[in-house]
């Protein structure tokens, strides 16, 4: 076996505690993923990435640092990765999706903080995640109060830059966000020592757009019946996209799509054609949070789309590639990122419109609106989501959950009852 222990040690990791995570992952991945039948061959790559999750990519990041490059750890789909790559840096998504890291976060955060924030902070403070330790700078944002305060704690560990995300979408807010991107360019240039030229930014915009197009293609295949790929597998593709090399991400996703499109031609699916088609909407599911998808798909339904940050919000809308000056490119970036509809905005009718549109596009039979515990924004917005869906006669189930398995049985019962209702 490749021995990564020296690398982990050099990052200052707590190997003893990390061993416990290494012990849990094979069983969880085997039980959730490798028990599926008829998976696309193209999932081999993603199985490989999970198998080497704390090895291959962290080693690439360390190599990048050795050659003078900088690694930026990010936590949100509003961070313009384009700027980081244009300066020769690497952006790696760091959101924590494991219960394993939650107690570490609870040592410094109130218990009523969402598990995603607790896990992210815990992963860094407990020194059990190489990605958190390989980052030279963290890039935070202001998409919720819990995160805003968490940045102040993480700032004791690593330099952190916080991007101020507007909370409304008026013209003035988009202008303000343009200013935030210009400011971010300056921060990244100073930190990397590299000037961002219009040429470099143009290439980087194209690089990230290509990744988005590839992910859009994966999702597009899920509009078919029977669906050629499970929701669990599609979720894994998106989760990995957050920290993989963007060019490789696009290449592997496109390769997978060639196979999925062939499957569609042959009417080959992973669920029967009449299996209930479910949309999952709500808060993100960072790797290795596969709980809800596993419950839904084990009950015989197919998750065909995720309206979330680990779903359509991540890759819908492209940045206009026509700009030739930094000002034009920044304007295009601001306009693209401000099209993303997060519950941190008020009002946020765009998200409801997205859900309704996706229900139609993906021929969804029922929507499961899932929020992480203590996420006030999404939990509150669920009232409006439910109201709109009920008015339109679209079945909806709202659940609130965390990363633990303590509510697994209860969720199973609720999801099964919901699916039974759909089939009547």
Residues lying near another protein in the complex (CB under 8 A) are found at 1-5, 19, 21-32, 34, 41, 44, 47-48, 50-56, 98-100, 288, 291, 294-295, 403-405, 408
Nearer to another protein, 80 or 97 (CB): 97
d(CA 83, CA 205): 8
Write down the least CB distance from residue 78 to another protein, Å: 27
Dihedral through CA 34, CA 39, CA 44, CA 49, nearest 10? -60
Q: What is the nearest approach in angstroms of another protein to the Cβ of residue 90?
A: 20
Nearest to another protein of 46, 314 (CB atom): 46
Q: In what order do the strands lie in the sheet with 366-372?
A: 302-307, 277-282, 366-372, 396-401
- For the bound state, the minimum distance from the C-beta of residue 232 to another protein, rounded and expressed in Å, comes to 12
Which is nearer to another protein, 12 or 393 (by Cβ)? Answer: 12
| Cβ count near 47 (within 10 Å) | 15
Helix (H) or strand (E) holding 379: helix 376-391
Alpha-carbon span 366 to 280, nearest angstrom: 9
Residue closest to 389 by CA, chosen among 378, 397, 401:
397
**CB of 280 closer than 8 Å to CB of 308:** yes
Minimum CB distance to another protein smaller for 6 or for 391: 6
Nearer to another protein, 45 or 184 (CB): 45
Q: How far is the CB of 12 from another protein (least distance, A)?
A: 18
Shortest gap between Cβ of 402 and another protein (angstroms)? 8
Determine the straight-line distance between the first and last CA of the chain, rounded to whole angstroms. 51
Least distance between another protein and beta carbon 6 (Å)? 11
Query: Is residue 416 within 8 Å of 299, Cβ to Cβ?
Result: yes
Rounded Cα distance, 233 and 335, in Å: 31
Residue number, 92 or 411, with CB nearest to another protein:
411
Contact assessment for residue 361 and residue 223, using Cβ atoms and an 8 Å cutoff: yes
CA–CA distance, 334 with 181 (Å, rounded to integer): 7
In whole angstroms, the minimum distance from the beta carbon of 327 to another protein comes to 44
Residue 32 or 344: which CB sits closer to another protein? 32
CB of 19 to another protein, least distance (A): 7
Nearer to another protein by C-beta: 29 or 191? 29
Beta strands in 149-231 (DSSP E): 160-163
Residue 95 to residue 123: CA distance in whole angstroms: 9
From residue 394, give the alpha-carbon distance in Å to each of 348, 355, 364: 20, 11, 9
Nearest approach, Cβ of 48 to another protein (angstroms)?
A: 5
* Residue at token pair 């569609």: 264
In a 3-state reduction of DSSP, which class is residue 165?
A: coil
Between 36 and 317, CB nearer to another protein: 36
Residues 59-69, buried b or exposed e (16+ Cβ, 10 A)? Answer: bbbbebeeeeb
In the 8-state DSSP scheme, what is residue 215?
H
Instruction: Kindly tell me the sign of the dihedral angle through the C-alpha atoms of 169, 307, 139, 404.
Output: positive
> Which is nearer to another protein, 23 or 391 (by Cβ)?
23
Least distance in angstroms from the C-beta of 284 to another protein = 16
């Amino acid at each position: 076996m490749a021995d990564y222990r020296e690398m982990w040690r050099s990052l200052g990791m707590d190997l003893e505690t990390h061993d416990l995570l290494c012990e849990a992952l094979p069983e969880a991945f085997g039980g959730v993923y490798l028990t599926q039948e008829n998976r696309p061959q193209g999932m081999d790559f993603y199985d490989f990435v999970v198998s080497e999750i704390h090895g291959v990519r962290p080693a690439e990041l360390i190599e990048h640092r050795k050659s003078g490059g900088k690694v930026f750890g990010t936590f949100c789909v509003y961070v313009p990765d384009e700027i980081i790559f244009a300066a020769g840096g690497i952006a790696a998504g760091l959101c924590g999706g494991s219960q394993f890291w939650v107690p570490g976060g609870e040592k410094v955060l109130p218990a009523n903080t969402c598990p995603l924030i607790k896990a992210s902070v815990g992963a860094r403070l407990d020194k059990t995640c190489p990605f958190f330790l390989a980052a030279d700078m963290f890039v935070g944002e202001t998409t919720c109060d819990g995160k805003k305060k968490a940045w102040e704690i993480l700032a004791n560990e690593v330099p952190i830059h916080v991007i101020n995300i507007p909370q409304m979408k008026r013209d003035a807010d988009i202008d303000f966000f343009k200013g935030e991107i210009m400011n971010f360019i300056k921060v990244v240039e100073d930190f990397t020592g590299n000037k961002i030229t219009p040429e470099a930014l143009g290439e980087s915009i194209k690089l990230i757009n290509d990744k988005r197009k590839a992910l859009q293609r994966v999702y597009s295949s899920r509009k078919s019946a029977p669906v050629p790929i499970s929701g669990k597998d599609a979720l894994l593709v998106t989760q990995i996209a957050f920290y993989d090399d963007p060019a490789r991400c696009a290449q592997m996703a496109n390769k997978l799509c060639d196979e999925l499109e062939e499957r569609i031609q042959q009417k080959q699916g992973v669920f029967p054609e009449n299996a209930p088609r479910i949309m999952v909407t709500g808060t993100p599911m960072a790797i290795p949070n596969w709980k809800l998808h596993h419950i839904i798909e084990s009950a015989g339904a197919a998750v065909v789309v995720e309206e979330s940050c680990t779903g359509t919000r991540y890759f819908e809308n492209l940045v206009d590639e026509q700009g030739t000056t930094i000002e034009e490119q920044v304007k295009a970036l601001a306009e693209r990122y401000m099209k993303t509809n997060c519950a941190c905005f008020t009002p946020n009718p765009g998200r409801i419109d997205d859900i309704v549109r996706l229900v139609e596009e993906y021929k969804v039979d029922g929507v499961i609106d899932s929020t992480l515990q203590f996420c006030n924004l999404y939990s509150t917005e669920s009232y409006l989501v439910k109201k709109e869906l009920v008015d339109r006669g679209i079945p909806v189930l709202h659940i609130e959950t965390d990363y633990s398995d303590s509510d697994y049985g209860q969720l199973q019962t609720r999801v099964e009852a919901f699916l039974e209702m759909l089939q009547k």
